[in-house]
Structure 1
Amino acid sequence: MNTCTTYSLFAVVAAAGLLGAGSAFAQLNPACPNCEGDPRELAEEAVLNAVPLSVWLDQATYGTGDVITITGHVAHTAADVPVTIKIHSPSGNIVWVNQLAPDENNEFEIQVASESWSETGIYQVLAQYGHPSKDNKAQFMLTSTSSVMEVADCGMSMVAIEDVCLEYEIEGGMVTGATVNQGDTSLILHITADDNGKLSVTFPVEVLEEVFLVLVDGEESDDVMIDGQSVHVYFPAGAESIEFFAAKVIPEFGAVAAAVLAVALVSIIVVSARSRLGLVPRI
């Protein structure tokens, strides 16, 4: 073995030793040795601090007369600057406005009574802190009867209709509520659509029988497939309602002209910019 080969072998062995030591050192030392607290709580706090203003509601659906709890967080506060909250009705009118100061934890909470609101549908909650660029919004469904009712134990992506769990799948938005229209023998699923998407639902005979027509925002949809009790319908971004007309709507669910159905759990599907209607596989 010549001198050059000896030096090369020594260099390889030394480099391997350094890499092994570095790996052992990384395993012995945590990524953040000075951090204290639950990692999940720290992550949630980091997300809140990254968003200038956050706002959320305690429910997705309320009935007329229910109390709506609005909660939020301001990432960075300034002295004597309040949070302004406005609520817009489905027709766009401002039905409630108020200002409040964040607490010492930069959080705020306020309760709003809805008994004076006669218009049903999707309401927008707009929160603003100081400059107009620091704003955020949430939305909820207001129905004509109280949303306080016994709900079946349903799982993800289901709407509870008394003791029947109506399962659905949705891409590009979320289901916010449902209404039975006994007079027109139809069921309306209220949705919010951030993107083009698709709703699939199989109706139990306890709810609807023989679906023959589907409307999206009041217009007959030609992008729908009805296969017995299963219905697949595509909707555009911004759609708010999908109405299913059937030969029969079970009377038990239509004793009131517009019986309101509570949502057991809203499944929010976040769709990337690549998830467009043309990319959704047709059935």
Structure 2
Amino acid sequence: MESCKLNFGKNHQKAVLVVLLTVSIISVSSFSFASAAGGISLTASAEGRPSQIDISGETTRTSDITITVTAPNRNVVSIAQITPTADGTYAAKINTGGLLWSQDGFYKITAQQGTGGIFKVALEVEVKGGKVITPYAFISSLEDGRVAALEPERGLTLFADAIEGSTTITANGHTTSFNDITLTVKAPNGNVVSIAQILPDINGNFEKKITTGGPLWKQDGFYKITAQQGEGGQFKSTVEVEIIDGRVIPEFGAIAALILAVAIISIIAVSARSRLSIMPKY
């Protein structure tokens, strides 16, 4: 039996070399792409400090980060260069106010390393009268190089506290915006009986005492108290308080329900003991 021998000519050798070279290029390219994966994140927070923006974030690069802030008219109002720490985090503080921040509107904050790409992210915060209206914003390109923004839960809550028979209502609540709050009270017939403008404190809390009584409060029924910021429904909340003869009639709340429950249980217990005491003895 004659043995079979493989004979590669010059053309075959060239073909093999081309295939090997192609595989090598693909491998190197894949490795380079994997090595280049990463990104940067940016957080802007003004919670509790409406005249200061706290900047922070993470990056997978070690080069300096340039933080730029542009006003609504596109003028640069702040620029800084930050070196990330060994674990890839960075932080900075930006003070608002002054002539450069006198324009109301949305200010753009950009964090960039190198020429950009996935290492360039930007977000916007609203500033009014030198105070930051947007308490929190976040954007990131760290996950597979895709840019993702996160909007925190925002809104306004309103409560009305009063003692039965009182002529004072305490309207209070919390908001995630630093805008002025318009507090309106309407009678059952829809007429406005009280209106006031208040500012939330640095933590977003607010409180206003409303005095009932007088000709405007002579109609018995439910009065609507509304707190609103701007035009959006997200920052608008309404509660109702019943007024009789100019005095507060609170809702049948949890405390009243608890007192009623205790009273019913006491009556049942006393009745049971009474039945036991009158049962004949044998």
TM-score (norm 2): 0.38
| Greater relative contact order (Cα < 8 A, sep 6+) | 1
Structure with greater proportional strand content: 1
Q: Which has the higher helix share?
A: 2
Larger radius of gyration: 2
